[in-house]
Amino acid sequence: MNKFPRFLSAAFALALLAGCASTVEVVDTRADNGPGTMGIDYRDFDNAAATAVQEMLDSGAVDHPRGGRYVLAISRMTNDTMQRIDTDQLVKKIRVALLRSGKVVTTTAVGLNGAEDEMVNRARELRQSREFKQETVAREGQMVAPDYSLSGKIIQRNHKLSDGRQQVEYYFQLTLTDINSGLAFWEGETPIVKRGSNKTVSW
Write down the pLDDT at residue 4: 53
CB 168 within 8 A of CB 193: yes
Q: Which amino acid is at 190?
A: T
Q: pTM to 2 decimals?
A: 0.80
Instruction: State yes or no: pLDDT of 17 exceeds 90.
Output: no
pLDDT tens-digit series, residues 172-194: 999 999 999 999 999 999 999 99
pLDDT tens-digit series, residues 151-171: 999 999 999 999 989 999 999
Q: Averaged over 113-137, what is the pLDDT?
A: 94
